[in-house]
Chain A
Amino acid sequence: MIPTFIVDDVASDRYIARRRLAKNGNFHPIRESADGTEFLERFFAADRPAPDKDTPPELILLDINMPELDGFETIEELKRRRSAAEAEMQIVALFSSSDNERDQERSQLSGVVEHFFTKPISDAAIEEILETYRARGYL
């Protein structure tokens, strides 16, 4: 099962993502955060488990437009704080309300974002994410 973190300030969008992931059945546990700062706090909690080769990398579903730290700023902070071993064990997917080119370009330049989707999250998008896991020998 893929541990997942949904980061989005809009409650309905978190709900939609949770429902879609639940329906797929490959994602568990699913954690949620309403903003980047809170996500980073929880994600880098002192008591977090060490990366485990047997569990698939954690999926981080990140919204771009959020108050305080937005999606890109959260990614920068994530890159700064995580260890190389932890980086191996994370897959970041951005969800945006717009397919703006500027955002897509920034996603690519970040070197971290592996998927860029426009909302609402669909079953097809989730299937695409699963492909990445399969390609790396998980599932």
Chain B
Amino acid sequence: MTYHRPASEGSGPASPGGLPPPAQPGCTMLQDAHRGADALSMQELQSRYDLAVALCPVPALMADVDGRIRCANAALYQLFGHDPGSLTGQAVEVLIPQSSRDRHPILRGAFAHQPAQRSMGQGREVFGLHVDGSLIPVEIGLSPVPLGAETEVFTTVVDISERRLNERRLREALDASATAMVLVAPDGTIELVNTMACELLGGAPRDLVGRNVDSFVPHHMRLQHSVFRQSYLSAPRPRAMTSGRELNVVGLDGHATPVHVALTPINGVGGQRIMATLVDLTDIHAKEQELQRHNARLSALNDELTQFAYSASHDLRAPLATIAGLLELCLEDLAAGETAETRRCIQDALTTARRNINKVEQVLTLARAGLDAIPDERIDLVATAQAIWDDMSSKWTTRPGFTIVTRGTAWLLTERPTLETIIENLLSNAIRFRDPAKASHWIELCFDTRSGTHLTLRISDNGTGIGTADKGRVFEMFRRSARSDGHGLGLAIVQKHVRRLSGDIRLDSSPGGSRFTITLPLRT
């Protein structure tokens, strides 16, 4: 047991008899015993005190100034598990846990020096020692009682195990809450925090309790917050503190967390308090951002689909319209006996039809890009590009000079067919758009992974380049160069495949040649 000098000691009201009135249960009896002490002999007085102790309904004992137990009641024997009567004559330290037993006589001496009725262990947990060695949380009341020239100490011991258990249950319930809870006194002092609040505010309860809530608000808002806090006290009602706007709490570690705060006034036994409930918005924000990205992606897909439908309605119908127009002429020519013209129209219709079989396939390739799941594999970029080049350039009699440059590692974890389609289309364009005015032709493919975060793939050539008017629209479907005999789908396919790999594509072009720069996130 530990004696603490209470803050109010010495300022408490004194009873007419010079002693403060005993406040513990059973003390009315003691008062009766005390009354008329002058008229009684020491022995009679002592036996009255003993009777009072015996009749006291809570565990109680009487000890002399040296801490020797003179008597204890049955309730106390029961609480501490000692044999009835066995404590008489023993030092009170026998009821005190080993850890604080040594200090106790000093504290006891201090009490004897300035005796006043008070409780023991204020503000901290006090334990009694059961005979079996277990600790009992207790609350202790001390009352000095005069016995002639001597002063004895009437001591009550209340078992607060049940109360402690309930407190712990409540505490556990608070700590189990997924939201941070901070109980704040009217002056802004934090009185209680749960586990989530500790996490959010970056400290243990002992670091946080006692601080002012204002100190957890970002610096520039502290003054404002303290004004708000005080105005809230004048008309407290449950409400969201952060409705419609965002607030950051700044923990002891300086880490700022976006939160939603709700305030609830509590008017309980201890006076007015405010319970602030804080919900960490970090995850919610991350999810919101993810949702926004998702929406942007969907919106882009939707635009793409609209464009696809528009282009398809034009470009898939176009060859059919041409064929229909030619066949109409055929019928008229046939009727007129113009076999040469008829033959020419049929030939044209056939050419148009054949050319567009391939177009339909390309449109399907474009439409399917992004639909099928393709497993990632580790790709040797140089070997892959070289193989594509060898396969493609073999179809051309004169081919440009081709170099592959690598900076950093030349390995990439990605979808092989998707990457191959990108490189194939860009190389095919570079071969087809050679500039006849130039004496020699070259194509350079550069892989740069030095950033560690992304692959930069550059395909440069000294071909004809792409006019400024066309530059912004080269990636549109069916957009083709006047010099091209293609379907205008190659770069649309490239862009869609680059997007599939979460990358970007950019075109730089001049009459000196074109350069496509693709950036792909690097995964290992």
Contact = CB atoms under 8 A, between A and B. Distances in A.
Interface string B366-381: 0000000000000000
B406 interface: no
Given A10-B318, A98-B313, A98-B317, A67 B488 contact: yes
Contact of B325 (A12, A69, A98): A12
Given A15-B348, A98-B317, A100-B313, A68 B325 contact: no
A9 interface: yes
Interface of B: 310, 313-315, 317-318, 321-322, 324-326, 328-329, 332, 348-349, 352, 467, 469-470, 478-482, 484, 488
Given A12-B322, A98-B313, A68 B348 contact: no
Nearest to B352: A12
B325 A121 contact: yes
B470 A68 contact: yes
B99 to A, nearest CB: 86
A67 B317 contact: no
A13 B322 CA distance: 6
8 contacts: A19-B329, A35-B482, A65-B314, A67-B481, A68-B481, A120-B322, A120-B328, A121-B325
Contacts of B352: 12
B315 A118 contact: no
B304 to A, nearest CB: 16
Which of B324, B325, B470, B478 has the most chain A CB atoms closer than 10 A to its own CB? Answer: B325
A119 interface: yes
A98 B264 CA distance: 65
A34 B484 CA distance: 13
Given A12-B322, A16-B329, A119-B321, A64 B479 contact: no
Contacts of A34: 482
B363 to A, nearest CB: 14
B314 A119 contact: no
Contacts of B332: 23
Which of A16, A102, A121 has the most chain B CB atoms closer than 10 A to its own CB? Answer: A16
B337 to A, nearest CB: 16
A121 B317 CA distance: 14
A67 B328 CA distance: 27
Contact of A16 (B313, B314, B326, B478): B326
Contacts of B328: 16, 120, 122
B318 to A, nearest CB: 4
B325 A16 contact: yes
Given A12-B352, A98-B313, A100-B313, A65 B322 contact: no
A100 B310 contact: yes
Contact of A97 (B318, B329, B480, B482): B318
Nearest to A122: B328
Contacts of B329: 16, 19
Given A65-B318, A68-B470, A100-B313, A12 B326 contact: yes
Contact of B314 (A9, A96, A121): A96
A10 B321 CA distance: 11
Interface in A15-60: 15-16, 19, 23, 34-35, 37
B322 A16 contact: yes
A15 B341 CA distance: 11
Contacts of A65: 314-315, 318, 478
Interface string A100-139: 1010000000000000001111100000000000000000
A53 B318 CA distance: 37
A119 B317 CA distance: 9
Nearest to B313: A98
A97 B314 contact: yes
A38 to B, nearest CB: 8
Nearest to B325: A120
A118 B314 CA distance: 10
B321 A97 contact: yes
A120 B345 CA distance: 14
Contacts of A64: 314
A81 B328 CA distance: 37
Contacts of A68: 467, 469-470, 481-482
B476 to A, nearest CB: 10
A9 B478 CA distance: 13
Nearest to B328: A120
A9 B318 contact: no
B315 A97 contact: yes
